[in-house]
Structures are given as structure tokens and as C-alpha cells.
Structure 1
């Protein structure tokens, strides 16, 4: 006998660009918004009865309609959307809204240039029991040319990796941090967390990427008291020294090949002692 398990549905990756035209100094907000609704929705799966199904097209329209009233921060916008979807008193009992903000660099009063792949994000979940907010970022690419080693690791019959006393350490940070409450200065918290991640990476002598990850998570908790826990995913972007001996050349740590795959992937949560709440495991499983 089959039993319906956990389920949700929504509209993925609604592209939204808002231009604030208060005077000649325009402000550009570029977002990707995804919604996911859950609740008493078994009937549509089991019998095809759509009575309680709010169409995903309606969810998309709601994103644009609420954007007409302004987008202050992505956390606030996500809260407005999530609370809207659970306020109707229908079958929807929980709403999760994921908002990604794409960075643009100002060139003039009304001119902009897209700035790299680094993306700020927020994941907001609301239900009758309350709401919680997860902030974060993706695509923060960091590299140290020295100050990193990897030695003393376990070996077995298949180990061929030599020890490295001095190596390039590079990664593309994917981070999520859960706020303990909603009374938070969102922009200030993001700026502080971002700076903490960068400072910890650059200032930590790394004996392993795991050690660096923990230092980065700990630094975020120190810098942002409102954060209860931070989850980090750090791919190890390997740089291998090229053997130039066949060409009669030495290579004193100057010429490398940057390998894109396979790569090591280090993931962990660093939590404030005694922190309670929903935790980040649910969020990480879906990479939302």
C-alpha cells in the first residue's frame, strides 16, 4: 500500500526587476523568487481534486503584485509573501519563500553593470505557529595563495596524494545562517556576516579546509549576535602545480592548473551553544 509523504508545490525562479525612480538617482533591485506551499493538500495527489490548490500562476502574480508596494530588503519581502500565503485560512498551512538578490554595480544615476556571480539570499518560512528567516549567500569566491597546508592525513592502500606543506586554498562559499528572531537589521546583519566570512578565511592559517570552515562559522556567530547557527558548504577548488620539467623548466610554485572537477566538498553547521529553533538541516537538503 502506498502512502503520500511530505509534499509541497510552488512557482520556481520568478524573475523580478524593480526600479525605484525617486528622483534622478534610480535604484535597481534584481531578484529571483521561488515559492513553495504545503498543508492539507493530499486530495490533489490522491484523487486529482484541485479545490484547495492555489495555482502556481497565482503565486507568481502575487510576487509581482507585492513588489509594486516596494522591496526594502529581501528578508522583509520574503516575510510579506510567506505570511500572505498562510493568511487565507485555507488548506495552505506553511509557505516557504526563497529570494535571491543579484548584485549590480552603479555606474551613474541610472546606469548599472552586473557584478559577478555572488548572490545574497533569504529563505523565509511562515505558518500559523510563526515565522523564521534564514539569510545567506552563494558564489563568494575566495583564494589564498599561501597560508594553507594538508598533512598528517589517514592513508590506505589506495592513497596516492602527497602531503602539502604550502598550497593554494580556494573555494566558492555557500552559506546559510538562521536568525534567532525577526527583529533584525537585515542589511547590517548581512554586511557583518559577509565581512566575518571573508576575514576568517583570509586570517586563518589553514591546516585543513574543515578548520577554515569552522573558523568562518565561529566568526559569523561572533559578529552577528542575532544568528543562532550557520551552515557552510565549501568546495575545495584544487590548484595543481604543473610539471614543467619535460620542457627543461623549474616551477617554484608559480604555474598551476585550476581543476574544476572532481573536487572535495566540506559541509558543516556551526551553532551557538544552546541554540534552539527549526535548525538548518531542512533547508540544506533542498539547497533552497
Structure 2
């Protein structure tokens, strides 16, 4: 009897396909962890018509968001990152906001290195801390930029990098820059309003621009596979923070269909626009979140 013919496995899949988790999942999780989460500035989505002259533009790095609080590196969720001592040696007692990044297309390798409780010294040799803001610095972003560049220069470590910021004159030029970055394997662009203070939370002073959007949702059920996927998972049923439920079948590897992301885990999916119902169009699983 092969794996696809095991009655117990089919029964388990049928059971899991109707399991559901509470609708207020993210609010509860957020409340439980809020006290330890760093006060990060989060991006809204860019839309044509934004006055580009007011913004600085940089590449959006596909890594692990990291916050240096003056003595520790923290993830976006508030977990302490166990970086080697040499990696953070001599860093100032000033907050820095950035991304731990190994390079374009190296997200999984970055996660594998950064999440280890015992630092992988060799793995960390390939990681850079891409610094894009100084959260506790007074003044506007225009004023914080020179201070950031001076601070990174004073640290004088090859793996601590001040993110390049540039000005873009038009929406067409911005689209051209996005196409160039994505062609080279980059994730997208970030726009930062020059006259903005560092305001924690999601706001229009920080915008992201990608050809396809990403979002997170929680896995609440599995749908059993059919045909060649019989005995495996055919799709994930996920729920957004707003309580919207939909299925994601595209993007699942055969390994993930055999051992899918656990119920309750957070996954990132990619999509292109929304249906009238509010559900994402062409949703594709990108990865399970582990940060």
C-alpha cells in the first residue's frame, strides 16, 4: 500500500480541510507580543500620482528586517537575533533600522543563518546589515540621511552599509528603475518622504513599489489534493488580518504538499490586484514566514 492509498492519511486530510481557526488571529497574536516589538515604521503601497519630488527612492531588500536598539539586534516581532559578537562589535548605542541581507535571491539562506540560536560564523560572513534609517534621531528624513551616512562611516565595517537613496523625477522613471531592479533579481523599491519624522506604524511617509504585491495570512485549513496530488495537500485555506478567507494552491512545491506549513503558521503570498470581493487575484504562495 503506497502513501497515496493510506486510509488514515486521506482521513486526516479530509479532517484538516474543514478545520478553522478563530478570525481575530492576528490581533490576538499582536497584542500578546506588542510589548516586546520594536517601534518600526512600516510601508503602505505606492500609487501613481504621489509627488515624487518629495521622496527618496531605494531598493527594497528581500531579507530580515532588523532593529538595533543600541545593544541588541531584534526582529520585527521582537525576538533577539543571535548574531556573532564580531558582527555587532563596536556598534553605537544609537538605534538603527535596517535589513539583514545576503544578496538578491538569497532570502532562504538569510533566514537559515539569522534564525540559528547558535550563530553560524561562516553563514554570517555573507550577511550585510543594510541600514536605512535612524529611528531615534530627531529631524526629518532629509536631515537623518547625513547623520546615518556619518554613523555608518564611523562604524567602518564592510558588512554595515548605508542604503543608497536617490531621487526619481517621474512615474515613468520610477517604473524604469523598478524594471531594472527586478530584472537583476531585486524585490522592488521603497519610497521615503524627505520631510517626514520617524513615525512608528504603517503610514504614507514610507511606500513600497513592486510589480506584484506581497501580503501575509494565516493558514487555517488544508484542502485535499486531487489527481496527481491525491493523498497530499491541494491548497491552503488562509485568513487575512481582516478575516478574509481564500485558497492558495499555486506555488506549493511537492514537498510542501506532503508536509505543508502548519496550521496557525504565517505565510507570505504574492498577488496581482484584487477581485471585486476583495480577494487577491492570482495568489501564489511565496514562503512560510519564520521571522
TM-score bin, normalised by smaller chain? under 0.3
Q: TM-score, normalised by structure 1?
A: 0.23
Greater Rg, structure 1 or structure 2? Answer: 1
Q: Which is richer in strand?
A: 1
Q: TM-score, normalised by structure 2?
A: 0.23
